[in-house]
Each structure stands twice: as C-alpha cells, then as structure tokens.
Amino acid sequence: MAFAKKELFDAEMQECADLYKALSHPARLAIMKYLAETKTCITGDISEEIPLGRTTVNQHLAELKSAGLIQGNIEGVKTYYCLDIMKVKKLKEMTGRFFGTVCCDDNCCEN
C-alpha cells in the first residue's frame, strides 16, 4: 500500500528526483567529491576516506553506479571507480533548468 506512484510524474522530473536521491546522503556526496579530486580513478580504498564500514561504502558506491553517476572498471582484484562525466553534466543541465523555473527573483509572499 505504499509504493511507486512515481511513474505518475513527468519523466524528467522522475529522472531528476532519482539523481537527487543518489546525492541525498553525505557519504555519497563525499564519494563524488573524492572521485573528482583524485583525478586518477580510485579503487575501493575510498572506504578509508569515508567514516563508514567497507560494505556500507560499497553499497553507496553501488547506488551511485546504478544512478549512472559513477563507473567501475575492474582490473585484477581491484575495481577502479570514477565519475561518469556525461551523466554529471546532464544532471548539471537538468539542475540548471530546475533552478530556472524555480528561482526567479520576484516570487511569492511578503518578500
């Protein structure tokens, strides 16, 4: 009785919401930032940068990956993660559009 009425909404809104959800945990923002800073794509020692257990961090990585914001390249035993720039750019554009509709200066109430 409590699920997935989300398809009832506009497709772009849906996609945008999903991406914001992917970014809605500080650990995932930290991962994104870390991956952006260490230009060389980084392996799962990301866990050492994040104050959470290894499996939990892995879970967050999986979420970012399923949202399409990062990629993981397997090389030997290690998996190298990196940002998916294209997706990040797409998000940036959608976000721009969102703020375009939402953030005009003469909106609302007693302001």
Partner DNA sequence: ATTTAATGACGTAAAAATACGTCAAATATA
Partner DNA sequence: TATATTTGACGTATTTTTACGTCATTAAAT
List residues binding DNA (CB under 7 A): 1-6, 21, 24-25, 27, 43-45, 52-56, 58-63, 72, 75-79
DSSP state, 50? S
Closer residue to a copy of itself in complex, CB, 8/77 = 8
Q: For a copy of itself, what does the binding mask look like between residues 37 and 56, x meaning CB under 8 A?
A: x-x-x---------xx----
Rounded distance between C-alpha atoms, residue 60 and residue 13, angstroms: 23
Q: With b meaning 16 or more CB within 10 Å and e meaning fewer, what string describes 18-33?
A: ebeebeeeebbebbbe
The three-point CA angle 41-43-48 to 5° equals 120
Through-space distance between the first and last CA atoms of the chain, rounded to whole angstroms: 40
Find the shortest distance in angstroms from Cβ 12 to DNA.
17
Q: What tokens does 103 get? A: 């953030």
With CB under 8 A as the contact rule, the residue among 45, 47, 63, 108 that binds a copy of itself is 108
* Binding positions for a copy of itself, rule: CB under 8 A: 5-6, 8-10, 13-14, 16-18, 20-21, 23-30, 32-33, 35-37, 39, 41, 51-52, 71, 73, 80, 82-83, 85, 88-89, 92, 95, 98-99, 101-109, 111
